[in-house]
Structure 1
């Protein structure tokens, strides 16, 4: 009878993992729509191509080598055990962990859930380098990022390995529930390295340093993308509980969903109010980035705060992201979608507030983990970007940038009936 209950629990947890993974996969659509909405129409096809291609690249590279680097195992060559062997292994793992103990689920579902996180990390890079990077240079970087750079830092955190054999982040008191640092700040670090080498879009900054706004071509699309990301984040954070088939886990999942939503709402409100104070009007793009900032901030620890705390954390994140976007613009760091601010600056904030509600984490441990992740991803990415720049270049020509990346990189336009 106990084995039958366990098999049902195993099936439920595996199914939950898969459904959460599907929600996270849907975030790829959110990133695509958000980015396409915030760029000029002449770059839309290239953005769409880049986002779909990066997802395919991430899935393939993580299957070939990324998952093995991060967690061990080899799905690419050996596949997944089935039949009686699968049942025996699962029951043995349940006995070892104690019935109702640690999560036990299909290895294939674990891979699927992890691979969509890799693609999310790479999508962050896409938005920051939009409108002036060569498509094939970007995809070449995606091969290295998803096959080596991200999996290696993931192995030091969720994989439990020592950092280059020197120290273990978990032993230092580092905690990142669903990836404010491991996924989001890492993506922002890679993006920052690329943006610094790439330079700003033509016309973004005047000869005297004045900042010139470059409006997005399709704000309804950007709003749709944000709402898709908001929905997908329930899978991102909720799935990171790793278990559903018992009362304690189900209660934790419900709290994670509640706090994820509360933080997003708080972030949107915080950004909207600050934008009103600064600009005198409601700024839609700041509102959208505020919601995303709240989501990034709560991702590091969505299970232990109260709903009120989650809302306040999100509110602060919404304020931070507006100030960060304005500050980066003054530094002439051109980020068309605000990705570095949303995922990098707020990702760090999310890590630093974990000890407030989770006593297992320490402030020094969070700083050490954040510094390790940023240093590795930024330096490794910078090296890769420099090599790509030296070999094939990373920026499209000035003429192609003026005409639009759609024609130069893809040979077609998103809206061919419109005459520019």
Structure 2
């Protein structure tokens, strides 16, 4: 066997393994979302939110395999709008850097991430089965369409839109779908008063929420690092190291900024805001974790950590009830991440970034609003007032997450 052939096979094996391990890290983010959301909802809704997170992951893996990946990547016209519609993942291209199967696995966990954003925002009052039906449509069709326009080589890609690992394509898209659902769903009972009062509804388990945030932070190294797509040569290996550094720096800066904003605004270190500050930094740097210097990454994360606090407060003031702050973290900070890309990447322009952001939001929000409206008319999307009061665990699952302790006298 020639030396060049051996080297080529070794690089193929290494890049495939890198893809698979990065995908496994992103898959672990499903656990992070589950723990974060389980900690930020009330105890009576914990089993149901865990059921949602497990089932949406299973649904995403199935629908994206059957049709979604094909829509996004297989046999599409460069610069086009309408994808080819087929089934399964196509065939391995000759001379590829990694296996087709590893590429599918890495992509499918991103789809699940977008859907996970939705589950927290609609928590504590949405019907389980309506949510699962929507999960099928988002992961099979809505997400793959905008994925083709961007990462699949469609018209947004041709227009110069740049989103390295998915601040807009994944995170803002998930938030856009969530916003459409929340607007039709309405707020939880007791969240807002008739005279504009805002009543906090504390989460049930801060240790779980914190664990979930650390899991997401950890998984994000695969999310951003794996998006380099290769690691088998000097240039790409160095780039992956830079991406890891910048990803971590942005998250840390986001948490620190949120801490200081909370202290200066309310005199308290609000843990939920600090957790969201770290996640905001991660979302913002995802649009381009490679081009910025480490100090620029710190600045991006710090700004996002401040933005998310004020965004969560602003949504509450206009009575948009988001129990976990998902729309602010993934939507507002996803948009922020897209728009700061040109400051560090000379190949990106503000016009192309804004165009891409508007198209992604309009498509995902608009199509999601239609789907949610159909579900509201047919199946209904909101549980009854009695079911909401009793809790989703009893109504949907029949299992309490935290069986009550029996006191012995």
The TM-score normalised by the length of structure 2 is: 0.95
Unpaired runs of at least 5, structure 2: 76-84
The equivalent residue for 1:8 is 10
**SS in structure 1 opposite 2:33?**
helix
- Report the CA distance between 1:169 and its aligned residue: 1.6
**Shift of residue 416, structure 1, vs aligned partner:** 1.7
Deviation at 1:415, TM superposition (A): 1.2
Deviations 1:125-153 (CA, angstroms, capped at 9, x unpaired): 00000000000000000000000000000
| Alpha-carbon distance in 1 for matches of 2:158, 2:348 | 10
Q: Distance in 2 between matches of 1:335 and 1:78?
A: 35
Q: Secondary structure at the match of 1:206?
A: coil
SS in 2 for 1:170: helix
SS at match of 1:130: coil
5+ residue gaps, structure 1, are 82-88, 95-103, 162-167
- 2:116 counterpart of 1:123: yes
State the match for 2:249 in structure 1: 262
What RMSD over aligned residues (CA atoms) do the two structures have, in Å? 1.5
**In 2: Cα distance, 1:34 partner to 1:76 partner:** 34
C-alpha displacement of 1:172: 2.4
CA distance in 1, matches of 2:87, 2:156: 29
Contact in 2 for aligned 1:196/1:333 (Cα 8 Å): yes
| SS of aligned partner of 1:64 | helix
1:48 maps to which residue?
50
- Which contiguous aligned blocks of 4+ residues in structure 1 show a shift greater than 3 angstroms? 73-81
Q: 1:287 pairs with 274, 286, 292, which one?
A: 274
Q: Normalised by the size of structure 1, how large is the TM-score?
A: 0.92
Residue 142 (str. 1) matches residue 142 (str. 2): no
Alignment partner, residue 133 of structure 1: 126
Mapped to 2, the partners of 1:150 and 1:270 lie a distance apart of: 32
Pair 313,258 (structure 1): closer, same or farther in 2 beyond 3 Å: same
Instruction: Write the deviation string for residues 114-133 of structure 1: whole angstroms up to 9, x where unpaired.
Output: 00000000000000000000
**Match among 245, 253, 257 for residue 232 of structure 2:** 245
Q: Deviations over 1:245-289 (max 9, x none)?
A: 000000000000000000000100111100111110101000000
Question: Residues 327-357 of structure 1, C-alpha deviation per residue, up to 9 Å, x if partnerless?
Answer: 0000000000000000000000000000001
Write the distance in 2 (CA, Å) between the matches of 1:367 and 1:133.
32
Could you tell me which residue of structure 1 aligns to residue 78 of structure 2? none
Q: Does 1:160 align with 2:156?
A: no
2:208 is the alignment partner of 1:217: no
Q: Say if 1:180 and 1:350, in contact at 8 Å, map to a contact too.
A: yes
* Maintained 8 Å contact 2:70/2:87: no
- Residue 112 of structure 1 pairs with residue 105 of structure 2: yes
Counterpart CA distance in 2 for 1:338 and 1:77 is 35
What is the CA–CA distance in structure 2 between the aligned matches of 1:178 and 1:287, rounded to whole Å? 23
Q: Does 1:71 align with 2:73?
A: yes
Q: Distance in 1 between matches of 2:70 and 2:366?
A: 23
Residue 209 (structure 1) shift? 1.3
Q: Which residue of 2 aligns with 1:374?
A: 361
Kindly state the Cα deviation for residue 171 of structure 1 after the two structures are TM-superposed: 3.0
Going from structure 1 to structure 2, the CA distance change for 1:335 and 1:247 (only over 3 Å counts) comes to same
The alpha carbon displacement at 1:417 in A equals 2.8
Q: Would you say the 8 A contact 1:173–1:364 is kept in 2?
A: no
